[in-house]
C-alpha cells in the first residue's frame, strides 16, 4: 500500500500521501498503485532547508516481491510496548528477552532492512526507525509461577481463548490518516472454523459513533460514511478479535483481547 511505502522513507504522517499522488501521474489515487517495477517519486524529508533545490524528491521502485518470513516461533500472548525517548529496537528486544528477528515478525509495519538477524545487535546497518509513543508489539513476559490452592472440586473452569489476538498491521499506532477511505489490516491467526470470523470494532471518540463488522478476510475497508466531515480531526479507536456466533446469532469473542489501536482521521 502507499501508506506502507511512505513509512519505508521515514514518514509517520499519512498527510504526505496527497503529495505523493500529486507528484506521480501513474498513481490515480491513494488506493491504486502502478504495477511491479514502476518508479514513483517520494518527497524528500529535510530537517533544515537543503541547497539541492533541483532534487526535492527521492525515487522508489515498486517490486513484486515481499520479505520471506522465517520459521521463528513467536507463538504466545503479545503486549504493546510504548516507545520512550532514546529507546532503540535492540534495547526493546533485550528488555523483553527476545530477538530483533522476532520483533520484525511481530511488527510488519516497521522496516528492518539491513538487519543481520544472526547477531543480537543486528549489525551496524540495522537502524530501525521508531519514534516516541509508538506501540511496538512484544512477547508478553512469562509470569512467575505461583502456588495454587488445593482444588475443592466445586470450582468453575475459566474458558481459555482459542486463538491469540490478531496482530494489527495498518494503520500504524497513532498514525495520521488523510480524509478518505481507510483500510484496516491485520495478520491471519490461522485457519478459521466454519462459523468463525474476525470481529472488527471501531469507535470514533470525537463524536461517539461506533461501527462493528465481521469478515473472514484479513482487512476491512471502512465505509465512507465514517469519514469525518465536521472540519476537525477525529480520534479513532479500534480492535479486531476472532469471534463465533452462539445459537441466538450473537458473536462471542473466542480469541485473546488484542490491544486497542488508535489513529487520527482528518476531516474532508
More confident residue, 42 or 229: 229
Residues 101-122: pLDDT tens digits? 889 888 888 888 778 888 877 8
More confident residue, 114 or 65: 114
CB distance 144 to 268 below 8 Å:
no
Q: How confident is the model at residue 51 (pLDDT cuts 50, 70, 90)?
A: very low
What nine digits make up the cell of 135? 506501540
pLDDT at residue 198 above 50?
A: yes
pLDDT of residue 185: 85
Phi and psi at residue 119, in whole multiples of 5°?
Answer: -125, 145
- Spatial CA neighbour of 45 closest among 64, 58, 61, 54: 58
Q: Per-residue b/e over 61-98, b at no fewer than 16 CB within 10 Å? A: eeeeeeeeeeeeebeeebebbebeeebbbbebbeebeb
Partnered with residue 50 across adjacent β-strands are none
Question: Which residue carries 522513507 as its cell?
Answer: 9
- Residue 27 CA to residue 30 CA, distance in Å, equals 7
Report the mean per-residue pLDDT for the chain: 78
User: Which pTM value belongs to this model?
Assistant: 0.46
Domains annotated for the chain, with CATH where assigned, are 2-61 (no CATH), 78-139 (3.10.350.10), 168-265 (2.60.40)
pLDDT of residue 69: 42
- Residue 100 CA to residue 122 CA, distance in Å, equals 7
pLDDT of residue 65: 38
What nine digits make up the cell of 87? 529507546
Give the range with max mean pLDDT: 8-12, 190-194, 237-241.
Answer: 237-241
Q: How confident is the model at residue 74 (pLDDT cuts 50, 70, 90)?
A: low
Give the range with max mean pLDDT: 61-70, 73-82, 153-162.
Answer: 73-82
pLDDT of residue 204: 92
pLDDT at residue 232 above 90?
A: yes
Q: Per-residue b/e over 110-120, b at no fewer than 16 CB within 10 Å? A: bbbeebebeee
pLDDT of residue 214: 92
- Spatial CA neighbour of 100 closest among 86, 109, 82, 88: 88
CA 266 to each of CA 19, 119, 185, 226, 237: distance values in angstroms, whole numbers, following the listed order:
15, 42, 19, 11, 14
Sequence-distant (≥ 6) Cβ neighbours of residue 257 within 8 angstroms: 165, 239, 241
Amino acid at each position: 500500500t502507499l501508506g506502507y511505502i511512505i513509512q519505508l522513507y521515514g514518514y509517520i504522517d499519512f498527510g504526505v500521501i496527497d503529495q505523493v499522488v500529486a507528484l506521480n501521474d501513474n498513481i490515480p489515487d491513494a488506493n491504486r498503485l502502478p504495477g511491479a517495477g514502476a518508479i514513483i517519486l517520494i518527497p524528500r524529508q529535510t530537517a533544515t532547508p537543503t541547497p539541492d533545490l533541483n532534487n526535492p524528491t527521492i525515487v522508489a521502485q515498486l517490486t513484486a516481491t515481499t520479505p520471506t518470513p522465517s520459521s521463528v516461533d513467536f507463538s504466545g500472548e503479545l503486549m504493546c510496548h510504548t516507545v520512550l525517548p532514546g529507546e532503540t529496537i535492540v534495547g526493546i528486544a533485550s528488555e523483553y528477552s527476545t530477538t530483533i528477528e522476532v520483533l520484525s515478525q511481530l511488527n510488519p509495519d516497521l522496516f528492518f532492512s539491513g538487519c543481520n538477524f544472526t547477531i543480537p545487535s543486528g549489525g551496524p546497518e540495522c537502524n530501525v526507525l521508531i519514534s516516541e509513543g509508538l506501540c511496538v508489539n512484544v512477547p508478553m513476559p512469562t509470569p512467575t509461577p505461583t502456588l495454587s490452592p488445593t482444588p475443592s472440586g466445586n470450582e468453575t473452569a475459566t474458558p481459555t481463548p482459542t486463538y491469540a489476538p490478531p496482530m494489527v498491521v495498518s494503520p500504524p499506532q497513532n498514525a495520521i490518516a488523510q480524509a478518505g477511505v481507510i483500510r484496516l489490516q491485520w495478520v491471519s491467526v490461522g485457519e478459521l472454523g466454519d462459523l468463525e470470523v474476525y470481529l472488527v470494532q471501531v469507535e470514533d471518540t470525537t463524536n461517539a459513533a461506533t461501527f462493528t463488522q465481521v469478515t473472514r478476510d484479513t482487512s476491512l475497508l471502512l465505509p465512507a460514511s465514517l469519514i469525518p466531515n465536521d472540519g476537525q480531526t477525529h480520534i479513532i479507536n479500534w480492535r479486531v478479535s476472532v469471534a463465533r456466533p452462539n445459537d441466538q446469532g450473537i458473536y462471542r469473542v473466542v480469541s485473546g483481547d488484542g490491544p486497542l489501536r488508535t489513529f487520527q482521521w482528518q476531516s474532508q
